[in-house]
Structure 1
Amino acid sequence: MDLLRGKVSTPRVGPGLVSRPRLTELLSATPARLVVVSAPPGFGKTSAVVDWVTTAGRRAAWISLDESDNDPGRLVPSLVAVLSGGQPGALVHLGEVGEPVDVAAGLARLLEEPDAPEVLVLDDYQVISDRTVHAVVEALLAALPHDRRLVISTREDPPLRLARLRAAGELVEVRAEQLRFTEAEADQFLRRRMGLTLPLESVAVLTETTEGWPAVLQLVALTLSGRPDAAARAAALAAEHRFVLDYVTEEVLARLDRPTIDFLLRTAHLDRLTGELCDAVTGRTDGAETLRELERANLLLLPLDDQRRWYRFHRLFAELLRTRAGTVAGDVHLRAARWLLDHDLPLEAIGQAVRAGYPASYEVIWRAGALLIHSGELRALQAALDLLPDDVAHHSVLVCLLQGWAGALRGEGAAARGWLDHAARAARDAAPGTDPLAVVQPGLSAQIRSTAARAEGRHAEAVAQAEAALGLLPPGLPPEREVLYRGDALTVLGHALLAAGEVDRAVAAYEEALPLLASVGNRLAVAEMIRNLARIELGRGRPEAALAACDRFPASAGDEPSAALVRLARAEALLALDDPDAAAVARSAMELARSGGDLTTLTEARTLATTRRAGALPLPDGQTLSAREQEVLALMATGRSNARIAAELYVTVGTVKTHVHAIATKLGTANRVEAVARARELHLLA
């Protein structure tokens, strides 16, 4: 998707970039682990970092952060994609990520590859408030290879342990004082970027008046450009009271025609812009051409990709325009939401829909919310819905159910049950026909309660609630909604039964759910169920049946990121059969997992592809490790607990403990830590 490429591409700063050697020297001075570029908007933070990585010839991976990245399940896949050197076509999100230390270790391994980026840039870090995201970044800093650097560009200092890094000489800081233009830089900027030549005394006046603030200097230059009295006007600015940004903005807008002003005021409410999206919100047909004209006119519009399809306004300029635009926002957001949803961007769509106001945005929230639930983008969904006022959210069955689903799937059972209570009241209070989800509220609530109970280990309750959900399917639903309801309910039941140890019944539920969810295009759910079915067969000692299960995944979706789950299961089955193709299939699962940003599957596939085993692996003392013991050993080496290994291999914790004890005994060690160390000495692990 082009929007995702723009998000993870190094920004284009346009023609006439002013190279600033004093900044590039500062950034290159010490081989510090972390670089923090911290200053208010408009100080050229992004341009300075782009100039540095370009001038220094550094391989850089770049992520332009936004509020949706407060979901680790959203950000980590983006990190996997950029650190793997790929451009994501569509990211697969599998819900919550693992422990921050484990996630960071996986990301650090990607950075150890020979062609991996030397610099990782996290731009606009001030939007991050999620503690888990901060913990992942902190852990990544600790695990960073010695020749790699992390750059954080932000409006405010990140809540990381900067003092410790500063004391250890592992931190470079660039702040507003360093980013301000000197007179010489201001003169170069005005000439090269703005095409404005002024006497040096006028440049000095402007530099002093703007305090070297690059974006403000650019706005001032726009007011002076083309005026025969530019030099005199520059002097007048200094004579006035400390000039105000609003005044300069008014001056800039006063020189534009009415259609261009209208375009700016409507599109300023968009986080990112492309021609078609601009046409959708303005009702015009010249969006792409207008964006190109604005870029040529230096109107603080930044291209986000090489093709110049996606842009964004400079943050400072956008904020000023939004303040001026006022009441047009609701209509703009709703039009944008519909366009984004129609172009398979549900996360961006729901963000715009919530800002559009409720209930006007009901349909978009419904469709986008369901897609986000099925793709596991739970935290981002919650964050968007949290923007709705409580008096609106608590009286909408739709919003309450979406919040309930997200909470249950994230393991927040108490919060999920609270939202379900609100949903029940909202359904009772809804006038007939006003809330389409009121009729399915009891059944969907039962599905959510089952999911929450399973996460909390109450397996009997989880099964009972899932069975109740199937019995609560209301008659008369439109066919597609009935198929979706039954498919979801059966999937929930299958997961509950599997967790409860009722494997045969779980298989039956999955078998009934598969064609239903396949018919509505939920390929991620289909891939997860097929992976589970294959692993169940492996747990029964039937690798051929596991391969047959994998063959059921649609061939047409074989190269989609979700197929990584099935390829991993296929590799596991081939390995159990001592098939030499197992490693190659595992590597293909790794590539798909990379493209989808699925760190969990990537790590598991890497372990499987690099573990040396073929049948029973001989040990120096004449004993052997069986194929299953080697599999358990490989998972032990990743730091997984016995419970986690049991869940992944679809065996009991007791079985895992037996394997761990056998491995330690055969290796002559006292515990699992020593066993892993001894296995590495014997080159049993990569």
Structure 2
Amino acid sequence: MDSEVLLTGPLERARLVRHLEEQVSTHALTVIAAGPAWGKTTLLDQWGARQGERVLRVAFEPGSPPAEVWRRALGLAGTSDPASPADWRSVPQALAHREPPWVIVLEDLDHVRDAELVSDVVHLAAETPAHLRLIVTSRSHRGLPLAGLRARGRVATIRPHRLRFDPAEADAVVRSHGLDPDRGPAADHMPRLRGWPGLYALLATVSVDDGVTAPRLTGQHRYVLDWVGSEILPGLDPPAREFLLDTAVLDRICVSLADAVTGRADALTTLDSLDRDNELLEPQDKHGIWWSIPPVLRESLERLALLEGRDVRGAHRRAADWLLRHRLREQAISHLIACEDWPRACAEILDGYWTAISDGRIGTVLSWFARIPSHVMDGDARLFIALASALLLSDRLDDVETMLRRASAAPVDGPFSDGLPSREAGLALGEATVSLMRGDLGRARDSALTARSLMTPEQAVQYANVVVVIAGAAFYETRAQDARLLLRRAVSLAESASSPVAGAAAAALIARMYAETGDLGVAAEHCLRAERLMSRSRAAAPSARRMLLMARATLAHRRGLLHEAAAAYEKVHTLSIAAGDRLSAVDAAVCRAVVELHRSDRASATSWLERSEQEFESCPDPGVRLTDLVARTRRLAAGEPSARPSGLTVRQESVMHLVEAGMTDAQIALRLSISERTVHAHLRAIYSKLGVRSRSTAVDAYRLLTTA
């Protein structure tokens, strides 16, 4: 099977054809060495179409004597007498007086078992004059003594890494079959097929024969199994065949790991042989320590090993043992799951899931849990809490709530190793986080306080997460001073515990609070701090990213950059709706409505206000801040004159200007030469006239009403 199997015909590979032309023009011999279905024939066809009649293509057949091969080559050139003897020396002589250059293409050299013929090819390459070039195709370098030619610069080699489809070619092939390479199963195939043209040909065939527009090509598909069993394995030496089948459970192979899995000591020589012969293996590092084969082929080899009755489960177990000894826990977990060693698999997951999440491998963690049977999950509440953590960072709140319910009903089968002291603490923290995002502040606060009472600051990572939730509730309940103190504590805890996600969320909320009180310089500094913390984390942390984007939007809003603020608020709203984060959705929508009022676009403001009210109604307890902000914005959008701050006295206006600038009551008293008690009295009067109940909402109202 070659790449011409593709439904739309061979892909035009101009890049590869140019590379072959360059090698042929500068080397006496060009060897194209690759296994089956790498597109060797297609490449020669496309290259030959550009060369005219001066290309002589001779396909080797098993058992052909050397003289017959050279006679056929000369016959193609029209220079040979069928009765005259021919050897490699006669070729350049016969072509010397013909218009140069001539190229002799000798295909399928791997079919040759005659040492004399192979020696003739090498001698011809060594003595080839300028008017003659050679191209040889073969499945491997096996039996080709090329060292001397390489030393003299007379030979070039094109191996599979050159023949594989590059991303643009793979994209074009997939699209030519009506598939979208960026979405669905087709997108999954791009890294799995590793650019092997033959595998793309199989993908196309499966699409037609199975009658599906989105085929899922796995190593267990009958077409792949047939191909590997009939085309790949028969061409291997017996030791190589045994090695590949016995190590088929491995995503990556190194000498020590392979020896541990096979129980033999032949990995070094076999890997070297497979590399030399271009058989399947691909280097994974520049030192030649780690190797792999395309995932689809590995899956097929594992299936064939199982059908042959090999100890595949034992191979997985031996691989896990080696990987754990070398502290490669995540790879070991996959093997423990594959051999259904559930006690060890679950123990390693519970010990390692938080590290994997923190490093941004949430998808890996979710894939582990997807393979654990329900009866195993039901035996340990810790598994449900761990899964809830991964789901929370994937913004799958409905699933989080389900996992928390199942955790509450399951037994606890050992100690926690993720910073949680108990199941009750994990349940309380999970409930607090979900309740905050669902807009149930009272429940969020109570659950977070329960979680904090069950923890100590020494459990810094989870303790920081609890403090962030408590501070978030305080912020929306208009207890700004409490929120700021708690958030500073959370940042400190998160930094000391190397928990950048919690620290970034806390710093982002601090930045927003400073922006709202007019201290824009400090707000910008905290935004940068949050961004630095986020850059230290490879975890997705979508909620923290929304909080940072909201802080940036608020900062732009306060700076008068209304277009930038509007775009950022809208993005937060879109992300929050998708995540089921009702509180942030309300917040972003009503802030966008305020921006539209500042831009004197009451129609757009009303539209955004309606969106905020829809989400607001679904929040059980959204807090004072959003309640006031939605009500006040509604009055302004309706054009009610009572919403304007004309009732403030001159002194109250002075106090409000200083509050807006971020001054404390003591600083205001000093600036205006009045007592703090008088400042408090003015603030109470201002709150009453503006219809608000907190300092931050007073600033919002004052700015809104004086600019609307």
TM-score (structure 2 length as normaliser) = 0.47
TM-score (structure 1 length as normaliser) = 0.49
Structure with higher Rg: it is 2
Higher relative contact order (CA closer than 8 Å, sequence separation 6+): 1
